[in-house]
Amino acid sequence: MNIGLIVYSETGNTLSVAQKLEQALQAAGHTVALEKVGVDKDPKTGAVTLKSTPAIEPYDAVIFASPVQAFSLAKAMNLYLSQIPSLSGKKAACFVTQHFKKACFGGNHAIRQIQSACKAKGADITLTGIVHWSAADREAQIDEVVRCLSAV
């Protein structure tokens, strides 16, 4: 399967999880392209402008990855998802990373935001994951996200 792994990451945490997932998917025999959503941010207003928007058309499946920011999906990923074309006929999955140890502090909301955006584009996301970066069992959480999303 040809899989697009579409990642927005500011600190590198989300990207590091995506790279582990990329390796697992490749080991399972899939063709995987890890592509980054690039942004420009206005330092005064915090406004986000997309400077690179990965195409999703070449892929049979897409996995979206983003950090949680301000208890919600990162603005950059939200903007990217609003601009992509139809996902009809594609498999889709997602994961988010967040600092807090509980998903109720933004992780669940961010996942629902991705699911809603994808549903509006014609895809239902059932495979999801959250990594709580400050948790003592972070590595186990990463392994679980990689295991779960490798089933896409």
Element (H, E) at 55: none
- pTM, 2 dp: 0.96
Among 5-9, 11-15, 124-128, 136-140, name the one with the lowest average pLDDT.
124-128
The helix-helix angle for 75-83 and 107-120 (nearest 10°) equals 10
pLDDT digits (tens, 9 = 90+) for 74-118: 999 999 999 999 999 999 999 999 999 888 899 999 999 999 999
DSSP-based three-state secondary structure for 109: helix
Fold of 2-149: Rossmann fold (3.40.50)
Q: Are 97 and 14 in contact (CB under 8 A)?
A: yes
- For the cut 90, the answer to whether the pLDDT of residue 147 exceeds it is yes
CA quadruple 101, 103, 104, 106: dihedral, nearest 10: 100
Residue with tokens 């070449």: 58
Percentage of residues in the chain with pLDDT exceeding 70?
100
- Tell me the C-alpha distance between 104 and 68, whole Å: 11
**Of 41 and 14, more confident:** 14
The helix-helix angle for 13-27 and 138-149 (nearest 10°) equals 40
How confident is the model at residue 125, as a pLDDT?
92
- For the cut 90, the answer to whether the pLDDT of residue 151 exceeds it is no
- Tell me the C-alpha distance between 50 and 86, whole Å: 19
How confident is the model at residue 126, as a pLDDT?
87
**CB-CB neighbours of 140 under 10 Å:** 11
How confident is the model at residue 152, as a pLDDT?
80
DSSP-based three-state secondary structure for 19: helix
How confident is the model at residue 103, as a pLDDT?
81
Sequence spans of domains, the chain: 2-149
DSSP-based three-state secondary structure for 69: strand
